Chain A
Amino acid sequence: DTGVSQNPRHKITKRGQNVTFRCDPISEHNRLYWYRQTLGQGPEFLTYFQNEAQLEKSRLLSDRFSAERPKGSFSTLEIQRTEQGDSAMYLCASLRSGGLSYEQYFGPGTRLTVT
C-alpha cells in the first residue's frame, strides 16, 4: 500500500486552457475527497465520492469544475477554461468509511499555476 498518489505534481497552464488532475486513493478506501488550498490558507472542501457516487459538492465548485470516479477507484478533477484565480494546490484524500479511524489520508497534491 503506497498511500494516496496524485498526478501531475505540478501543472502550469495558460488562462483559458483545460486541465485534468488524477488521484489514486488507497485501494480499500471507498471515500475520496478533493480539497483546494490557496497560499496562506487551509484546505477547502470541494467534493467527495463514496465509491463511484458523487455525494456532495461545495459551492466553491463552479460549473467549470467537474469530478468523476467512474469505477470507484481513481478520480479525476477537470477544470475547464482556467482562470488565474484557479491557481492553487489541489489535494486529494481518501478514507474507509465504516471503520473507527475517521482519518483522511492525503496525497501530495497537484500545484496548478495559471498564467
Chain B
Amino acid sequence: AQSVTQLGSHVSVSEGALVLLRCNYSSSVPPYLFWYVQYPNQGLQLLLKYTSAATLVKGINGFEAEFKKSETSFHLTKPSAHMSDAAEYFCAVSEGLTGGGNKLTFGTGTQLKVEL
C-alpha cells in the first residue's frame, strides 16, 4: 500500500520569497513520485516527476523537487514565488516499475497563497 502526506494544508508566502511545499511518502516498492498543480475548476497539470533517474528533478515554471529515499520525502521548491503560482498543489505516488497499473495515490493537497 502507498500513501502520501502533505504537511500544511495552507502555505502563504510573499511574492519573491522561497516556496517550500512538503511531501512525505510511504511505499513498499520503489516509487515514482509526482507533483501536480490545480487551478480553480480545472484539472491537474504535471509540474514534475521522479522516475528513478536523477534525484533532483526540475519541472515547469521554475519548480524543482529532490527525492530523498532516506527521509522518504519529495519536497517541492521554487526560489522566487510569483502571484501566478497561487494554486493547489498535490503530491502523488505510483508503484513504479512493479506496476500497479501506474495508478496514482494523492496527498490531500497544499493551497499556496502568494501575497504582495
Q: Across the interface, do B103 and A102 meet the contact criterion of CB distance under 8 Å? A: no
Is there contact, CB below 8 Å, between A43 and B104?
A: yes
Stretch at the interface among A11-19, A59-67, A74-82, A104-112: A104-112
Contact status B108-A41, CB under 8 Å: yes
Is B43 a contact of A56 with CB atoms below 8 Å?
no
List residues of chain A with CB within 8 A of the CB of B103: 33, 45, 48, 56
Instruction: Tell me if A40 and B43 are in contact (CB < 8 A).
Output: no
CB pair B109 A42 closer than 8 Å: yes
**Tally of B interface residues using CB under 8 Å:** 25
B7 close to A (CB within 8 Å): no
**Contact in complex: B49, A102 (CB < 8 Å):** yes
Contact in complex: B43, A45 (CB < 8 Å): no
Decide: A42 and B108 in contact? CB cutoff 8 A: yes
For residue A109, which residue of chain B has the nearest CB? B43
Are B101 and A91 in touch, CB under 8 angstroms?
A: no
Query: Is B83 engaged at the interface, CB distance under 8 Å to the other chain?
Result: no
Beta-carbon contact of B41 and A111 below 8 Å:
yes
Within 8 A of B (CB), among A47-65: 48, 50, 55-56
In the complex, A43 Cα to B37 Cα: how many Å?
Answer: 12
How far is the CB of B74 from the nearest CB of chain A, in Å?
15
A6 (CB) vs chain B CBs: closest residue: B43
> Whole-angstrom distance from the CB of B107 to the nearest CB of chain A?
5
Interface check B63, CB cutoff 8 A:
no
